[in-house]
Amino acid sequence: MNMTDTNSSSTAAASAPGRRQGEVILDLQNISLRFGGVKALTDISFNIREHEVRAIIGPNGAGKSSMLNVINGVYHPQEGRIMFRGEERKKMEPHVAAQQGIARTFQNIALFKGMSVLDNIMTGRNLRMKCNIFQQALWLGPALREEIAHREKVEEIVDFLEIQHIRKTPVGALPYGLQKRVDLGRALAMEPQILLLDEPMAGMNVEEKQDMCRFILDISDQFGTTIVLIEHDMGVVMDISDRVVVLDYGKKIGDGTPHEVRNNQDVINAYLGSGH
């Protein structure tokens, strides 16, 4: 731990040890998204740097999930440009985003409920499997070796997330907190460049939240994955993120380090009401 970091807790989080902010990997320019007459996002610009933990926060209905779905390719903004590694990204399907190395988890958990934890995480390896349908159907050597190699990787993730004891359980039967963890595991199995987390802490108790925070920081430190995280609980976010974007009613009202954002008057108004 660096001595200067201990001066204030917010700057300590902003430059957490071992974390390096790299080049801009994703640059969102003047994004506007409408559903019919409803403006979900209005003229929003911000960027995401490599290796950082970038939080998008805001009250309910601020447009956080819409923003995530834009990044993920689920929604296509009517206006604005998305630059991925310096190149303008075309309109695309979510599975193409996955091919470009963007993985995500879901706010309401979208796991494959009938399948075991292992199978769920194995689906995250899908893109990295090269054998064709005939090799697989006939169980040829390459397909078997491939399956084993990927299974090893999945076991590493299972160990990392400390879910060894539920490996074979169908996820539908798991408690909520563990399902969230499996959801994270499946995204991790893709070895993504950018990991999008949609309210990873929502509905969790204090211990589960702490576990989740620990995993997020470990992922960032160990794998250097760029993490974009949505939360409406400010407390958690301030502790683990490098930079924070604040949305309110589909507009950007703040952007900067947790310390800067915390002292931004617009943000305070949005969260506490302008009467305070």
Q: Which residues bind another protein (CB under 8 A)?
A: 72, 74, 93-95, 98-99, 103-104, 106, 110-115, 119, 122-127, 129, 131, 133, 136-137, 139, 143, 146-147, 150, 170, 172-173, 176, 186-187, 189-190
Smaller CB separation from another protein, 24 or 131: 131
Cβ 208 to another protein shortest distance, Å: 16
Q: Give whichever of 42 and 169 is closer to another protein, judged by the CB atom.
A: 169
Q: How far is the CB of 172 from another protein (least distance, A)?
A: 4
Compute how many other C-beta atoms are within 10 angstroms of the C-beta atom of residue 76.
13
Q: Which is nearer to another protein, 98 or 166 (CB)?
A: 98
The nearest distance, CB 262 to another protein, in angstroms, is: 32
Cite the beta strand spans of 111-260 per DSSP E.
Answer: 194-198, 226-231, 243-248, 251-256
For another protein, give the closer residue by CB, 129 or 268: 129
**Shortest Cβ 54–another protein spacing (Å):** 19
**Cβ closer to another protein: 179 or 220?**
179
Q: Which long-range contacts (CB under 8 A, 24 or more apart) does 206-210 make?
A: 208/177, 208/180, 209/236
